[in-house]
Amino acid sequence: MQFWLPAMPKTLVGAGTVGKISARVSQKGCPMPPGPPLELNSVETNHPQASILYGFAIPTIVRLSLDPTRLPSGTMTRCVTVEWVCRPGGGAPEVFTRDIEWAQVPQHLKDQCVKWPNTRNEEDISEDAAIGVMALLLHELAGAVILSVLQIGSGGDYLVEIQGQPPLQAESSGVRDDPHGYESTARLKQKCSQVLTKSEVGFASVVAFRHPPDQGVRCQLHYVSRTGPGSNHPKVKKRGRKKKRP
């Protein structure tokens, strides 16, 4: 399946500055949110129909603070570079930074983090952590709420809802270490295609937990569409029937 993937962002806003955003409004009028760090514990109230906190808080904290980059003991915040394509999709990504904080996550969950690499394999931890990051950013940037998980073969990972809009799909993936940036870019292309196999529109999210040039965390979160403005699929011209020669 072919589709159109947005061009690489022209400017990097605040990539090396924690908690600062220099562009408050994107080129398409999508708000670039200011304010305090995104608290991981908020997924419990922001997505009340799914158990995101208890399902994904532990791997999210592991990937943000223990592995692949170990933060100083007691650190409860990590800066994430976000590459965001808002509705209707198809435009150049807006790039900015957001802080993710886990200070309010229940202590009994945080106590399990050091044991998690002995409990789950690397790939599962990365995939689960990427869902935690996606859940935070989807709600913050698009006002999206996760309704339910989608079964394998349904296209995306989750069914999400934006107030006043029909439900749509969201597909997530995580990469533990992407030293050259190639893997997450290729993965994004794959996930954009996957979410559109069963849905006209949707979100594709790929989180690399160590990404160049600063070896920081980078989340590519893109709204994708089959048709209409910002289409992520090339339009195919209909061919007429060939006339038979006399």
Span 118-146, pLDDT tens digits: 999 999 999 999 999 999 999 999 999 99
Q: Let me know if residue 8 belongs to a domain.
A: no
Closest CA to 82 of 206, 223, 191, 193: 206
Could you give the percent of the chain with pLDDT greater than 90? 72
Res 93: pLDDT: 93
Q: Do 174 and 209 meet the contact criterion of CB atoms below 8 Å apart?
A: yes
The 8-class DSSP code of residue 66 comes to I
Query: What's the whole-number mean pLDDT along residues 5-26?
Result: 38
Distance, in Å, from the CA atom of 137 to the CA atom of 38, rounded to the nearest integer, reads: 8
Res 223: pLDDT: 96
Q: Let me know if residue 240 belongs to a domain.
A: no
Query: What's the whole-number mean pLDDT along residues 108-121?
Result: 97
Dump pLDDT digits (tens) for 93-108: 999 999 999 999 999 9
Q: Let me know if residue 100 belongs to a domain.
A: yes
The answer to which of 22-31, 51-60, 223-232 has the lowest mean pLDDT is 22-31
Q: Let me know if residue 20 belongs to a domain.
A: no
What's the chain's average pLDDT? Answer: 85
The 8-class DSSP code of residue 170 comes to E
Dump pLDDT digits (tens) for 148-184: 999 998 999 999 999 989 999 999 999 999 999 999 9
Predicted TM-score (pTM) of this structure: 0.82
Q: Let me know if residue 234 belongs to a domain.
A: no
Query: What's the whole-number mean pLDDT along residues 22-37?
Result: 53
Domain count, the chain: 1
Q: Residue 154, class by beta-carbon neighbours within 10 Å (0-12 exposed, 13-18 middle, 19+ buried)?
A: middle
Res 31: pLDDT: 53
- For 142, the domain range is 38-225
Q: Let me know if residue 30 belongs to a domain.
A: no
Name the residue type at position 67: D
- Above 90 in pLDDT, residue 242? no
Q: Let me know if residue 44 belongs to a domain.
A: yes
Kindly indicate the confidence band of residue 210, based on its pLDDT and cuts at 50, 70 and 90. Answer: very high
CA geometry: angle 43, 49, 55, nearest 5 deg: 55
Q: Let me know if residue 74 belongs to a domain.
A: yes
Closest CA to 123 of 58, 65, 175: 175
Q: Do 40 and 134 meet the contact criterion of CB atoms below 8 Å apart?
A: no
